[in-house]
Structure 1
Amino acid sequence: MRPADWKELLALTDRKAPEVFDQDTKVAGTPYADEIRKAMRTLSISGVFCNQGVPQIMVLEQSDYDRGQVMRVHAALWNQGLASVLVAISADVIRVFSLARAPGALDHKQFEEQCLIEAIDAAADALSLKDYVYGAESGRLWLEKADFFDARDRIDAVLLNNLKVAHDLLSQEGLTSDEAQAILIQTMFVAYLEDRDIATRDYIAEITKGAHETYSSLLLAGDVSALEALFKTLQADFNGDLFVAPCSFDDSEHPQRLTENTLGILHRFREGREEMSEHSGQLRFWGYDFRYIPVELISAVYDRFLGHDPASRSDAGAYYTPMFLVDATVSQVWDTLQPDVKSKGVFLDPACGSGIFLVRSFQRLCEHWRSGAKTETIRWDSLLKMLERVRGFDINGSAVRVAVFSLYIALLEEVAPPDIRALAKKGRLLPPLWNRTLKCQDFFLAEPEASRADVVVGNPPWTSRRSVKGPGLSWSKTHAYPTPSGELAWAFVWKAREHLQKDGKVALLLPAMGFLHNHTSSSVNARLRLFSDVEVLSVINFSDLRRQLFDGAIHATALIIFQAPNTKKNYSFEYWSPKADLNLAIKRFITLSSIDKSILALSEVQRNPLVFKQKLWMRGPEEKLFGHLNRFSKLSDFVEQYGVIQKRKGDPTRGWVVGQGFKPYHPERTSASSEQSYESEVVHETPYLPVTSLTPVALTVSGLKEWTSSRVHRRGFERGFSGPRILFPRGVSSSGRLRATYTDAPLTFQHIIQAIAAPPSETDRAKFIAAILNSKLFVWFAFHGTSSFGSSRPEVQQAEMLRLPMPKPEELRNRERAHSIQQEVVQIVDSVQARAKEILLPPDYLESVLSEIDKLTFDYFDLAHEERILIEETVEFVIPALQPSAGSVPQLWKQTTQAERADYADQLLDSLSDWFPSPTKLNAELAGRNEDFAILKIGMLEASDFTGYSEERADTFASALKKLSKQIGKPLARNFQTIPDIRIFAGQNLYLIKPTQRRFWLRSAALSDADAIAGELQTLLQSSEQQSAHA
């Protein structure tokens, strides 16, 4: 087989670096350049396919299938933990292996049973092999072959599990947590020295006087004295901060003396041939190989290990940052840096944890050095200078020790083993980092003048004033910086500015709610101050990924990159809002798609507190509809908040008033805020409504019992317990609707439920409002117009509810029809109330009622057909897909059907029809498709030739793409998942290249695409007119 055949087989012939690398390509311009070079040089990998910078498919070519070589390569790549698929090509058979699965136990035959996805005949099944690349780009591959890509089988998960188990077993043997962590770090470092052939068999034999040749045999023998001798020699040869003594990094301490049992535990951990969990014990043929495990992966794993006590980590506000999120952060800020900063600048992480951001920064510095040099070998003194340029602070001493360990390995990774051994013979190989460049110190106690940086990067702790410790908030108060809700992350942002050099950059992962979405006055003011005092370069809002990024964290994150302000008063910046997708299943990268990118101006941030939230899912048509609805009168125009009335000492018994229910008293709670209590007879004597019993439109009140006590922590809005009123909870229901009901029956409820009390003379209006609050229109408006729903928790706060549009009929175009609709809706509420006590209601009764209310609400607001489409599809597809949990596959991600593609095409053509004269009609047909991508062709026809949408002549996607490429005279091969809105004008036709996932083929997507196409047509017409004028 010819060397280039693998590209043709995988449909990669026209792909270039940094997407595809082969043996003839210089590996540069990609975050994992060193790992790719290592795979090619030491494993004979022929080619590497990368998806958004991350190796995804490795190609191994063999003249004849050699299972032994494939197993060795597979084991190395499994340890590397980056790529997901190994394609082994031999003769005319292509074997596809999962790199997520570890090899089986001691039987070689189990390898293929465990890891082989399929064997493909190159001649007969070439098309299925091409689909591997397309399936990897779309994420379909991970879904269809889910059994082969379980994240729990990957090296990081296995290593983390064994770290936890080993730590716990060592603790049971009498070691403290600090001692157990220390000896595990030391063991991993020795393993690294061994696996890289730095600490050779002869080296260990000489130290142990011939008793042992490997660290593993020393541990297995339980030879404590040999271990101490080894550590003493390592400290002398390598210096650094790791080998002061077993279980200790500080020579002023007296280390715990190890025993045969503890060494036995360390032996099991070092070998890595088993899952150490007592419930598993599964054996593997290959153990860890630290030659291939990337240091950043080790650092990330250890970061998770340090946080495996969720309670303490939550209290500190510090969460493990996944490696792919670190990569996204470092890559984004790296691309903003000037060459001199890349060559000489200082990088600082103010809360460095295990050092993963610093490791990735150091690796980027090394790659930048190579890009400007004629050799890939970096001099030792140059490496030390680069190492000195990465610095960090952290209050957790154990974390700083791991950062030291991680950077030592990152340093040694840049040097060939023979050169390391030569340096070791000279002594003092590793420079001391502890409390020099990596300081166990609170960032807020550091003097900015003594720790200036060109780049401040990291993921600082997020905590509110309830749990925040240390001087961060007091520092902010002293320097007059706002910290809304006592959020410590704000303090890190302000302090980071103080440390910047003149043209420095800050890139921090921050809580998205507090920094982007919260529109309380304190948060808005702090946000405006930040965006006005600095120049923001880009914001990436990861809100939709919140359930899949941080283990145990409940808040979404955002990356904000900024620098000192420029001279422009109204600057612009990039705003990205990536969406969760199938590729998150392998947790190796985040898809940044052009369709999720906006350009925002400072003036927009100043004018609209909700701009970041609205741009999460809004496109042009949604913005127009929201703006139209937002111009109407709102609930706040006639409803007043109970708390506001109380503050001005007004009368809450008159007019329209909204307030919350009572807050229960819990005497067992010890916080000062929980001690206050009051007596409320009405709570104890009136039937109590649990939130689970609140049904839309009307209530069934029979069978409800009183609250168990008259003592409450807060009485709440007691007028809301009787009389005509609308009840609604904060949370959005699982059906994707707000849940509101009308009642005049006496009922109490907790503060999770809110009540709008109405004057007795306006009960019909209250019924009307209660009913339409359940409609799709109102949940759509709340989704786009509130801070939390869709970005954090699915809830709508009381003050946000009052911003919903609620026009009187007089404000609408057809006021007579609006009055009539109001009466129809009131009749529906009365009917539902009358039937509420019936036991045998049809199962679809409530749904049919809500459907009728939906239609009447659309009619009341006089919405056009296209506007109704926007709302219907958001409620049906988008809202159920918000912030999906790991493993879920929302309908929005699934393959579109032919009927849906036809609906999309019809809507697109209808929206574009005004651009073309009457005798001409637009026609749409599918030019090509596979399971992941499709090409839609739009052409102009005479009306008599119009046939409607068709897929009858559709070619394969690869063939259609090749024809289109030939037609326009340039290659089109690329990752269409990251650019899902490509439009190509060729001859008299327009071609749209789109992923086949439903999100891109909704009718609402057609409306947005039509807007974009119309804009491009307008530009083309203007350009043509200008050319004619100059002719």
Structure 2
Amino acid sequence: MSQSGLLELAHEKLHWPTPQEILEPSGAGPSVYARIAREKLGRTISKLSDGYGVQIGVLAGNPQGDSTETPIALVCDFPTEISEETLRKTHQLAWSFSRTPSLITTEPNRLRIWTCYEKLPKEDDIINPVIDVSKREIESFNQVSLSGQAAETLRLHWSDLVSGQFFQEHSQRFQRKQAADQMLLKNLKSVRKRLQKNELDDDTIHDLLARIIFIQFLFDRQDSEGNPALNTTLLDYLYITERLLSARYSHLADILRNHRDTYQFFRWLNGKFNGDLFPGKGATEEEREAEWQTEEQKVKQPHLNILADFVSGHVDIETGQLSLWPYYHFDVIPLEFISSIYEEFVSKESGTGVHYTPEHIVDFVLDGVLPWDSQEWDIKILDPACGSGIFLVKAFQRLIHRWEKAHPKTIQPSDLKYLLENNLFGVDVDAQAVRVASFSLYLTMLDKVEPQYYWENEFRFPRLRERQLIAADFFQEDKEGFRSVEDAAKYDLVVGNAPWGKNSIKKSLYIDSWKNRPENRNKWNTSYGNIALFFLPKAAALTKLGGQIAMMQPAMALIFNQSKPAQIFRNTLFSDFKIEEIVNLSALRFGLFKDAISPTCIITMSAIPPDGEPLTYICPKPVMTNEDDYHIVIEPDYINIIYPQEAITDPLVWTALMWGGRRDLSLLRRLNQESSIEKLKKRGIAKTRQGVPRGDRKKVENSLVNKRILESDELLDSSFLYLNAEQLPINDDPYIDSGTGLSSLSAFQLPQIILKLSWQKKSGRFRSVIIEPDNTNQGIICSESYVSIHISEENISQLNAACLAYNSKLAVYYLLLTSGRFASYIPEVNVNDLLRVPIPELSVGELQNIKTIDDIDERIRQAFEFKDSEWVLINDLFNYTLPDFKGDGASPGRKRIHRIDNSQSQNNTEPELTAYCEYFLRVLKAGFGQDKQVCATIFQEQTKNLLPVRLVAIYLNKPDSGGVHIKPIDSPNLMERLENLNKLYLERGSIEDGGIFYQRVARIYDSVELNGVKIPTIYLIKPDKIRYWTRSMALRDADKVAADIMTWRTTFDEKSQAIEESYNA
């Protein structure tokens, strides 16, 4: 039970999880967050004047789930009313905690929500909650019509919180860049910049920054009595007894202002902790002393003064304003953040192909292969591109958690040391990154040890560098720990984010010798020299039989590239190993990697031969809210099944299922049987050429001079189907790229069409024009942004058909679902992809009658004889899927469903939902017979403040009924109905999957009783956004329902018998 009683009320009135699931969630991931919050914050808050008795938990979207998703809120439940001072301190701690976007405080008579993603107010400024509601307001919830209630109260309903609607409504107050860890990163960058200007090298700068964080952690880390690990008593001891320091100190800033004392203090800490935190790691005493002397001479007092100014809080290095350093609680800030600091520094400046891996992505990867809910702790884990150790740190945290689950006693420093020395291994070519990885692991170890043990003589950090953490090339075969033969089958798990990029293979001195080893010779090759892919087979060689590899990879190279080397690599990989899952993160690309130029994916595979089982292919999409900064949303429609043979032989599956479904894949396979410029070219009917590349301009090609040239889009944009050559300038530039062969200009002859390689955002289409000649009756040339196609006069009908096809919706549809570049954000497609666009065999007729873009689409629809259901797929992708992908939160598919007031119109008051239902019913009737009396009911709220979800019921064999009906309903009644369906959903499914509000998209099989007859009913619950309720989505949803009925794969209870009987009759 909660201390305030407000959590019970929130459960009853707002449908939040129970107080038990907030304070002690049962799911492994949320329970870890709750435990950390209690340990980190509870110690401090409970010692405040009115903080005694505080209960701390987390409000998780799925409290029964095991995944490590960022909770909705940190929850602090107080037994009494609290002071402004306690609130301010609690808010500061929650802000430093950095793991949740919001803080919820509950007192006996009020509930408040605060943002943790906003810069902290100054001491004399008041702190403003995002929401402040009284107990009485919550008690009155649902008792009266919601139209009369405050919108703020409505937005506290569980469906609003878990769907992200609440955060969308208040998006200005939830900016991830103002979270504590992000602000600290910004602060550290400015300090680093200042130190660089003062001629200090980067390696030393990184060491010093890590060191001051470590020391501040010791100042902030408290034991169970609230005493800091590093305090004035200890500093006095170093001054008075040890005579190590020359003065009495109480703050880090004061120590830093004295160069001698600073390094005396550093040396003393090094003696206590050992490890890799400080200089002096040489083999002999002389070498160690030389290292210390080198750094002490390099780091001057002005450098230390910069650090002292920063940590004192007197000045922010960059802005000159007060620094936030004193507001950070370093025992609360996530320790893995240390790794991310260095990775951000390196990834944006080195050009190595290294990309900083966001923490929530690391958790997402580890949830799949190293879940919290296990007692198996003694497993060996390798990160072959460990960088500064973010994967290893988070894996270490999970191994500690597993150890604690398996043992009844408290974990000891010796146990932590064992884990570090025996279970975690890392390799990276960057020696400084390895140093930071070592430091990050030490901090993680320190965080699990009670402060009173820190200063005992037997407490030491284990030496990790050159033992467990190796600065080397992963493809070196002479380094113990990752030799292909001698260390084969050594590891249980390999995880990480391999470096990638075009020609990144050239950065390795050892990859060629690895490729030429007997077991690898002529086996592993890839296009564009991308080194990342080679990490997979080498990692597999080091993994135990049945062990797993989970690595981030470049999506273009691994799944989208259709070149011969890429296809051969995929064939070999999928034939040699069991590929379990690929998560295609291309659609999230700019949300994940702000600096990335290439989309990414996560591959999970087992070191065993394939067993014929399908792999799971997941393609998450952005929500286009702040939630994208810390959470990957996986909805049912993002999950696809791909069979091994399909994965090997059909490259279409990766792009088609990224943005479409199985119906789209079938349509694409049919379209690939149609004609295309590529096929006409093979038959000698068409000639093609990408435009003239200027490049290095070292080659002279006089045949290009005096020809009309298209170089600008302006004339293309102002033309429709024809472009008059007389409008174009005459080329007088003979220079082209020296590597270009231009033996023939035949593709620039008349009859001629010109294609633009890139998709045009304004029109939402690709563009093509037929060239109308000038008085010379010659074709034109063009820049390399275009492709020229020549088709002879006798085949002019095919040229006309091609021009229409390229300007139509069909070209957009086809290229989004077949071109890896276009599917993953690059608007310019490859020439080969463009030439594969289908062209109708049937004549498209005279082009002169075509006046509008709609005329083009209609002519193409007729020429291909598309069925209505096929044209729906093309239309919806063009109207919603692509604009949502290329647009923002206001794109067409992300808008709320249109509702037309009943008083204005009696017909089609729900245009999108009505069309959705009509197509859904059409699929069921097509599959099970037109005589089936299926109908649909749309539940329409009659209140001003709308829930973020919509509910539709499909009735199977309802007597004397048909079509689509709209049922008005008040929001409180709709909430009650949804809550009942949620209970039913949880009873019949897996409780770990979460409820309908968490899932966002749910399908529930039930029955309703009408005149004593049970009517089988399917309830569909989805967000109130158009993209979930399109006609193509209706086809997909209805296909799934039909498959459930036909194959009996659902978990129906006895009520489902009625469905089977109805549709087998």
**1:606 & 1:285 partners in 2: Cα distance?**
54
Q: How far 1:261 sits from its partner (Å)?
A: 2.7
Give 2:975's aligned amino acid: A
Do 2:934 and 2:954's aligned partners in 1 also have CA atoms closer than 8 Å?
no
Q: How far 1:934 sits from its partner (Å)?
A: 2.4
Question: Does residue 1:131 correspond to 2:155, yes or no?
Answer: yes
Q: Flag the 1:747–1:968 CA change in 2: closer, same or farther, 3 A.
A: closer
Which shifted more, 586-595 or 1016-1025? Answer: 1016-1025
Question: Does residue 1:751 correspond to 2:764, yes or no?
Answer: no
Q: Quote the residue 2:209 is aligned against.
A: 184
Give the % identical residues.
23
**Match among 430, 433, 442 for residue 408 of structure 1:** 442
**Match among 33, 47, 53 for residue 57 of structure 2:** 47
Q: Quote the residue 1:618 is aligned against.
A: 660
Q: Quote the residue 1:213 is aligned against.
A: 249
Q: How far 1:612 sits from its partner (Å)?
A: 1.4
**1:135 & 1:38 partners in 2: Cα distance?**
29
Do 1:275 and 1:282's aligned partners in 2 also have CA atoms closer than 8 Å?
yes
Give 1:265's aligned amino acid: I
Q: Quote the residue 2:405 is aligned against.
A: 371
1:489-524 CA-partner distances (Å, limit 9, x unpaired): 022222212221233211110000110111111101
**Match among 360, 364, 368 for residue 332 of structure 1:** 368
**1:697 & 1:131 partners in 2: Cα distance?**
51
What is the alpha-carbon root mean square deviation over aligned residues?
3.3
Q: How far 1:700 sits from its partner (Å)?
A: 4.5
Q: Quote the residue 1:891 is aligned against.
A: 892
Q: Secondary structure at the match of 2:937?
A: strand
**Match among 845, 856, 868 for residue 823 of structure 1:** 845
Which shifted more, 859-868 or 31-40? Answer: 31-40
Question: Does residue 1:685 correspond to 2:706, yes or no?
Answer: yes
Q: Quote the residue 1:984 is aligned against.
A: 1005
Q: How far 1:585 sits from its partner (Å)?
A: 4.1
Do 1:780 and 1:875's aligned partners in 2 also have CA atoms closer than 8 Å?
yes
Question: Does residue 1:904 correspond to 2:916, yes or no?
Answer: yes
Do 1:394 and 1:441's aligned partners in 2 also have CA atoms closer than 8 Å?
yes
Q: Quote the residue 2:418 is aligned against.
A: 385
**Match among 220, 225, 232 for residue 260 of structure 2:** 225
Q: Quote the residue 2:149 is aligned against.
A: none
**1:615 & 1:170 partners in 2: Cα distance?**
50
Do 1:688 and 1:747's aligned partners in 2 also have CA atoms closer than 8 Å?
yes
Q: Flag the 1:329–1:624 CA change in 2: closer, same or farther, 3 A.
A: same
**1:359 & 1:629 partners in 2: Cα distance?**
49
**Correspondence list, 1:534-549, <5 A:** 534-549=577-592
Q: Secondary structure at the match of 1:685?
A: coil
Q: Quote the residue 1:869 is aligned against.
A: 872
**2:623 & 2:1063 partners in 1: Cα distance?**
48
Give 1:391's aligned amino acid: F
Which shifted more, 494-503 or 5-14? Answer: 5-14
Do 1:93 and 1:119's aligned partners in 2 also have CA atoms closer than 8 Å?
yes
Q: Quote the residue 1:356 is aligned against.
A: 390
**Correspondence list, 1:473-512, <5 A:** 473-478=511-516, 479-480=520-521, 481-512=524-555
Q: How far 1:339 sits from its partner (Å)?
A: 6.2
**1:805 & 1:371 partners in 2: Cα distance?**
59
> What number of residue pairs does the alignment pair up?
960
Q: Quote the residue 1:784 is aligned against.
A: 817
| Unmatched tracts of structure 1, length 5 or more | 642-653, 668-676, 810-818, 830-847
**1:891 & 1:807 partners in 2: Cα distance?**
30
**1:704 & 1:1015 partners in 2: Cα distance?**
57
Q: How far 1:995 sits from its partner (Å)?
A: 1.8
Q: How far 1:994 sits from its partner (Å)?
A: 1.3
1:206-256 CA-partner distances (Å, limit 9, x unpaired): 224472433424246x1111111111110111111112379x997543113
Q: Quote the residue 1:168 is aligned against.
A: 193
**Match among 836, 844, 853 for residue 850 of structure 1:** 853
Give 2:442's aligned amino acid: Y
Q: How far 1:3 sits from its partner (Å)?
A: 4.8
Give 2:104's aligned amino acid: V
Q: How far 1:902 sits from its partner (Å)?
A: 2.8
Q: How far 1:979 sits from its partner (Å)?
A: 5.3
**Match among 84, 92, 95 for residue 112 of structure 2:** 95
**Correspondence list, 1:941-980, <5 A:** 948-956=964-972, 957-964=974-981, 970=987, 974=995, 976-978=997-999, 980=1001
Q: Secondary structure at the match of 2:965?
A: coil
Do 1:546 and 1:557's aligned partners in 2 also have CA atoms closer than 8 Å?
yes
Q: Quote the residue 1:266 is aligned against.
A: 307
**2:354 & 2:368 partners in 1: Cα distance?**
22
Question: Does residue 1:699 correspond to 2:723, yes or no?
Answer: yes
Give 1:896's aligned amino acid: I
Q: How far 1:1029 sits from its partner (Å)?
A: 15
1:681-719 CA-partner distances (Å, limit 9, x unpaired): 233322221152434522244453344521211255622
Question: Does residue 1:591 correspond to 2:633, yes or no?
Answer: yes
Do 2:578 and 2:607's aligned partners in 1 also have CA atoms closer than 8 Å?
yes
**2:414 & 2:634 partners in 1: Cα distance?**
38
**Match among 573, 582, 589 for residue 530 of structure 1:** 573
**1:921 & 1:359 partners in 2: Cα distance?**
55
TM-score normalized with structure 2 length = 0.84
Q: Flag the 1:482–1:230 CA change in 2: closer, same or farther, 3 A.
A: same
Q: How far 1:1020 sits from its partner (Å)?
A: 5.4
1:458-511 CA-partner distances (Å, limit 9, x unpaired): 001102227731225313431322132211102222221222123321111000
Question: Does residue 1:67 correspond to 2:79, yes or no?
Answer: no
**Match among 551, 558, 572 for residue 515 of structure 1:** 558
Give 1:658's aligned amino acid: T
Q: Flag the 1:890–1:38 CA change in 2: closer, same or farther, 3 A.
A: farther
Which shifted more, 188-197 or 932-941? Answer: 932-941
Q: Quote the residue 1:878 is aligned against.
A: 881
Do 2:748 and 2:789's aligned partners in 1 also have CA atoms closer than 8 Å?
no
Do 1:19 and 1:49's aligned partners in 2 also have CA atoms closer than 8 Å?
no
**Match among 998, 1003, 1014 for residue 1042 of structure 2:** 1014
Q: Flag the 1:249–1:935 CA change in 2: closer, same or farther, 3 A.
A: farther
Q: Secondary structure at the match of 2:462?
A: coil
**2:864 & 2:11 partners in 1: Cα distance?**
53
Q: How far 1:194 sits from its partner (Å)?
A: 1.3
Do 1:614 and 1:785's aligned partners in 2 also have CA atoms closer than 8 Å?
yes
Do 1:23 and 1:40's aligned partners in 2 also have CA atoms closer than 8 Å?
no
Give 1:235's aligned amino acid: N
Which shifted more, 469-478 or 524-533? Answer: 469-478
Give 1:996's aligned amino acid: D
Q: How far 1:897 sits from its partner (Å)?
A: 2.4
**Match among 438, 454, 464 for residue 502 of structure 2:** 464
Q: Flag the 1:339–1:425 CA change in 2: closer, same or farther, 3 A.
A: closer
Q: How far 1:571 sits from its partner (Å)?
A: 2.9
Do 2:545 and 2:608's aligned partners in 1 also have CA atoms closer than 8 Å?
no
1:899-927 CA-partner distances (Å, limit 9, x unpaired): 32233223323333454664835131217
Q: Quote the residue 2:955 is aligned against.
A: 939
Give 1:401's aligned amino acid: R
**1:17 & 1:660 partners in 2: Cα distance?**
64
Q: Quote the residue 2:147 is aligned against.
A: none
**Match among 144, 154, 160 for residue 169 of structure 2:** 144
Give 1:742's aligned amino acid: I
Do 2:724 and 2:771's aligned partners in 1 also have CA atoms closer than 8 Å?
no
**Correspondence list, 1:918-929, <5 A:** 918=931, 920-926=933-939
**2:970 & 2:640 partners in 1: Cα distance?**
33
Q: Flag the 1:878–1:202 CA change in 2: closer, same or farther, 3 A.
A: same
Give 1:636's aligned amino acid: E
Q: Secondary structure at the match of 2:839?
A: coil
Q: How far 1:777 sits from its partner (Å)?
A: 1.6
Q: Secondary structure at the match of 1:625?
A: helix
Q: How far 1:954 sits from its partner (Å)?
A: 4.8
Do 2:505 and 2:531's aligned partners in 1 also have CA atoms closer than 8 Å?
no
Do 1:593 and 1:977's aligned partners in 2 also have CA atoms closer than 8 Å?
no
Question: Does residue 1:719 correspond to 2:736, yes or no?
Answer: no
**1:23 & 1:875 partners in 2: Cα distance?**
46
Q: How far 1:104 sits from its partner (Å)?
A: 1.2
Q: How far 1:35 sits from its partner (Å)?
A: 2.4
Do 1:151 and 1:586's aligned partners in 2 also have CA atoms closer than 8 Å?
no
Q: Quote the residue 1:646 is aligned against.
A: none
Q: Flag the 1:235–1:715 CA change in 2: closer, same or farther, 3 A.
A: same
